[in-house]
Structure 1
Amino acid sequence: MVRKSDYVTKRLLFSVIIASVASLIYGWEVGMLNILFSMRGSFGNVFGLYEFDRQKKTFVETESKPLREMIITPSFIIGGIFGSIIVLYLMDTIGRIRCLRIGSIIYFIGGLIQVLCKTIAVLCIGRFISGIASGITLCICPLFISEIAPKQIRGTLGIVNSLGLQGGMFLASLCNTLCLKFITKNMNLQWRTAVGCQMIPSLFFLIFVWFLRETPRYLLLKRDDEKALDNLAYIRQRPTTDPEVADEFNEMNGKLKVELSEGMASWKEIFTTKSIIYRVVIVSVLQLLHMLVGINAIGYYSTQIYSKYLNISPQKYGAWLATLNNVISFICTVPAMRYIENFGRKPLLKWGAFGLGCCMVAICVLCHLCEVTHKSVFAWICVIVIYLFGIIYSWSWSSAVFVFQSELFPLRMRAKANTIGGIFQYIGSMIVGATTTTLMKFFGYYTFLIYAGFCLIAFIFTSLCVRETKGIALEDMDRLYGGDIEARNEFKRDINNCFETNVKEV
């Protein structure tokens, strides 16, 4: 009887965990602003989001608050787009590991600038630099994990990347909430400590990324067969003469040699080859919808939603509610690691979009009922629905999109294709991050119906365009998305029969 745990080694797990720390830092940057925007007397006052009203004896929103949030929030995302473009030219040139090392250094510099900044301009520069690092590492991490993982547990290990993202959002909200609650006398120390906590995972990543080994597939790309075999054996914790290591290496090497005999893919080939451009479009739309379903609207502004529409005080409850939301999402990502190989990628994306859309509609309705009736019961039900939204997202789109993208393309064009997908993720994130606060200003809670509409589009698109990739070797994706329909259907039947047999054995 073969179990998933039989494919896991300590070195494989170490490599996956260290790589996923980059996603944790990205999640930290995303989750950090939610509570920071609620620090009215410290962060809000310093950067012009709030000003003290002597008559009301409290901090009130400035007229420029939506504009300032529109500048602060997407500065990180714009950097991510630049980072995604930069890694395009580095990924196949200097390798996966060196890219991660460069990203770790840039992350640390960007975080340090944010901690020491005194103006909104310098803050945005720091976030932009951190964004460059995120663009580099987020393109590399899912790819790195997929290239070192056995195909039997590739989806499971791929979710560790999403687990890091959810964990980063949780840790950011927890640290910032503690700063908000317990650092109440020194307002400058309050927000700087909250921002500075991100330096802890940045330093951890900066140190341990140097212990990672290059992926065997990249070394085969560079025709370094001997080192590729050594690294594969090292990660599998077996000698190079082990029959299973030899079989895996020979299968990988043989298929890649055939693929690479055509040379590295040019941009012209990518945009003129029907099966490839079809995959690029699918990944780009998925990454765009990945953000447009509204996760960052909740991630950045949930405390403001509690305050504006549900009359829940951010100082008393809101920050803790945001933290609890993130910890629940983090915990609920763990089961997806076990079941993604059973459910597959397509069902998670399809029904996840449906569930997210239902939640967005419910949030809008409950905000309306809260406004009309002034009953707190509707507010707390809405909080539960927001939690449910986070659970569904962590189970589905947070987990499956990156796994699906990392599997879909041949090695000779994987860098270019994954970079395009990463750019569209940042474009979607920028759209949501830059517009949500303005949309809420003019449309109020009806903004959530807009995101519900995108969830419906995601459901339809996934149903029509996404094909299942579970259990398929990376080198066989061309057969799944090839132009010969009859051959493709035969291949899918073979894979399904093989997968059903493996499930019975497990």
Structure 2
Amino acid sequence: MEIPESDVHFQKSKFPSITLLLAVFSAGIGGTFQYGYNVSIINAPTMHIQKFINETWNIRYSDNLDRGLLRFLWSAIVSMFTLGGFLGAWLGGHLAIRFGRKGTLLLTNIPVLIGSILMATSKPAGMFELLFIGRFLVGLHSGVSLCVQPMYLGEIAPKAVRGAICMGTSVFITVGILTGQIIGQRELLGGEGQWSILLCSSCIPAVLQLLLLPWFPESPRYLYIDKGEEMKATLALKKFHNTNSYLSELVGLEKECAVVRVQQSKRPCELLSDRSTRWQLITTVLMNMAQQFSGINAIYFYATYIFIQAGITEAYIPYVTMGTGACECLAALCCSLLIERLGRRVLILGGYSLMALWCAAMTVTLTYQVSYFWMSYLTMTCLFAFILSFGLGPGGVTNTVTGELFTQSTRPAAYMISNCVNWISFFLISIVFPIIVEGLQQFCFLIFLAECLLGTLFIYITLPETKNKSFLDIEMEFRARNFKNKDTESPNGAMMLSRSPKV
């Protein structure tokens, strides 16, 4: 199929259509925005919720709750979000295959709405146990969204702007974090009387998505390759890319469909044993682990201490902390503007390299902070620089690359595995990190420095540039690494890939 000159001109402009941008907003507001928002809002009412648990226990048993047990119950409430997220990540791929990408995003609003109602009624009902269930259901939604939303955005975007569109996942996470920090201020919903409303407020983005997302089509790739509904897929492409620019994407769909239609969507256990995707899977798994172990959690842990040392009074620290959220949000927005110009490799390698530099700098400044009053300001500068580097690099690019390294039949299983690893790593670092900090104090950043350097080296060796390449082109680049003998046929169609013309 010959691509008209007008289509080529549109590709060169690399500007997404208004419909595509609105679809990104509709998917993100009820998707990964919820993840960032619910991670953020739980911090503000910590003391108020613990007080409510203690008062409820006293009413029931006429005795104050043991402090150790109170701490355990609070930790369990927080951890239920992670448990729900892990289960959601495991279910996300299966749901995306059965109900479609858009259908799954709409479906998973149900647990958010139920969870919001349960958390809102926990205080009037005098049942703190409802917080456990509510947080689990909200976490379940976040796990599914982190799996399915990047899949949906990557499949509706033209390859010329795929990186920028996929960055919507990270942008909405950071916007959610910042919004949660703002709404959680004591002047708004962070006060003692409003914390149940704060936890319930996650129902608002869910309702917005239920109202907006149905107006946009399902993923054209899902319709064309998975469902075989070519007419609907063509109409979806026209709606997302407008009439004059959808033909090149349709050509790519036809070529990929010729290769992967003979394959069933793989399950995670099948993907783990599939030689043709071995290095793609290794790369995405280790990139997700590196993102969690990079030291970003240490930065947020040390933020309050650093702000106090810089002379900021404790009453104003919540407002200054909003600066960290704004900083990460700004970095994600900048990354979305740069990713198609500089490429994925430059951003993620540069991000990890700069993070290693700031880890070294903060080790020095924290060591001599007591000796020199100006060191605390230098430490604060390094803290914000680290957050910017994380947002411009691994925080923004990792999710985008995960979707690009796989074709239609392997992408759902790949997201399931990588996101499960992400949630497990998040859980492990939350347990191990306090022990590391207590034992090493500021020298804990040397561990994160080593991890950032190792991550940089691994990504430099294994990750090719994926900018402006089709999914088949990217898979072909990994073929030589997955099969030492390039002429060896793989049982799932690797030889078919080598015969397919490039998009």
Paired residue secondary structure (2:184): helix
Deviations 1:426-472 (A, max 9, x none): 11211223343454445433433333332222222212221211111
CA contact (8 A) 1:302 1:322 kept: no
CA distance in 1, matches of 2:179, 2:354: 26
* Closer, same or farther: CA 409–43 of 1 in aligned 2, 3 Å: same
Q: Which residue of 2 aligns with 1:227?
A: 232
- Determine whether 1:388 maps to 2:385: yes
**SS of residue in 1 equivalent to 2:192:** helix
Q: Among residues 444, 449, 459, which one is paired with 2:446 in the alignment?
A: 449
Alpha-carbon offset, residue 121 of structure 1? 4.1
Of 446-455 and 165-174, more deviation after overlay is shown by 446-455
Could you tell me whether the CA contact under 8 Å between 2:189 and 2:198 is conserved in 1?
Answer: no
**Structure 2 counterpart of 1:105, one-letter code:** I
Cα shift readout 1:470-494 (whole Å, capped 9, x = no counterpart) = 1111233221111278989xxxxxx
Structure 2 residue aligned with 1:279 = 280
**Aligned partner (choices 48, 51, 56) of residue 45 of structure 1:** 51
- Any residues of structure 2 matched to 1:235-274 within 5 Å, and which? 235-238=240-243, 244-265=245-266, 269-274=270-275
1:103: which partner in 2? 108
Does structure 1 conserve the Cα–Cα contact (< 8 Å) formed by 2:82 and 2:423? Answer: yes
Matched with 2:479 is 482
| Paired residue type of 2:442 | Y
Name the structure 1 match of 2:87: 82
The percent of aligned pairs where both chains have the same amino acid is 21
- Tell me if the contact between 1:367 and 1:445 (Cα under 8 Å) persists in the aligned partners: yes
Q: Following TM superposition, by how much is the alpha carbon of 1:197 offset from its aligned partner in structure 2, in angstroms? A: 3.8
Q: Write the letter of the residue equivalent to 1:365.
A: V
**Which consecutive residues of structure 1, in runs of 5 or more, have no partner in the other structure?**
49-60, 489-497, 500-506
Task: Compute the displacement of 1:253 (Å).
Answer: 1.8
Equivalences for residues 71-470 of structure 1 within 5 A: 71-118=76-123, 121-177=129-185, 180-181=186-187, 187-220=191-224, 221-238=226-243, 244-265=245-266, 269-299=270-300, 301=301, 304-306=304-306, 312-314=312-314, 316-370=315-369, 372-373=370-371, 376-470=373-467
Deviation, 1:422, is: 1.0
Query: What TM-score do you get using the length of structure 2 for normalisation?
Result: 0.83
Is the CA contact (8 Å cut-off) linking 1:76 and 1:129 kept in structure 2?
Answer: yes
Show CA shifts across 1:124-147 (max 9, x none): 322211111011111111111110
Contact 1:406 1:418 in 2 (8 A): yes
**Are the structure 2 counterparts of residues 111 and 268 from structure 1 closer, same or farther at C-alpha, using a change threshold of 3 Å?**
closer
Deviations 1:336-373 (A, max 9, x none): 22211222112222221121222233334333333x33
User: How far, CA to CA, are the matches of 2:309 and 2:436 in structure 1?
Assistant: 14
Alignment check: 8 A CA contact 1:7 1:150 kept: no
Q: CA contact under 8 A between 1:306 and 1:312: conserved in structure 2? A: no
For 1:379-403, what per-residue CA distance to the aligned partner results, in whole angstroms no more than 9, with x for missing partners?
3332222211111111111111011
Contact 1:107 1:134 in 2 (8 A): no
Distance change (3 Å), C-alpha of 1:131 and 1:342:
same
Q: 1:309 to 1:47 in 2, by over 3 A?
A: farther
Contact 2:14/2:161 (8 A) holds in 1 = no
Q: Cα deviation per residue 1:171-195 (whole Å; 9 max; x = unaligned)?
A: 1111112xx24679xx531433443
Amino acid at match of 1:456: L
Paired residues in the alignment total: 464
C-alpha distance in 2 between matches for 1:292 and 1:431 = 9
In 2: Cα distance, 1:66 partner to 1:369 partner: 34
Partners of 1:230 and 1:309 lie apart in 2 by 59
Distance change (3 Å), C-alpha of 1:196 and 1:388: farther
Match of 1:23 in 2: 32
TM-score (norm 1): 0.83
Moved more, 429-438 or 74-83: 429-438
CA–CA separation in structure 2 for the residues paired with 1:190 and 1:364: 40
**Superposition deviation, residue 329 in structure 1:** 1.9
Q: CA deviation at 1:219?
A: 0.7
Runs of 4+ in 1 over 6 A off after TM superposition: 307-311, 484-488
- Equivalent-residue separation in structure 2 for 1:126 and 1:17 (angstroms): 25
Asked if 2 retains the 8 angstrom alpha-carbon contact of 1:34 and 1:303, the reply is no
1:87 Cα offset (Å): 1.8
Query: Which piece of structure 1 moves more, 430-439 or 125-134?
Result: 430-439
CA contact (8 A) 1:87 1:419 kept: yes
**How well do the aligned residues superpose, as a CA RMSD in angstroms?**
3.0
Contact 1:219 1:227 (8 Å CA) reproduced:
yes
- In the alignment, structure 2 segments of 5+ residues that lack a partner are 1-8, 55-65, 488-501
Q: How far off is 1:303 after superposition?
A: 5.4
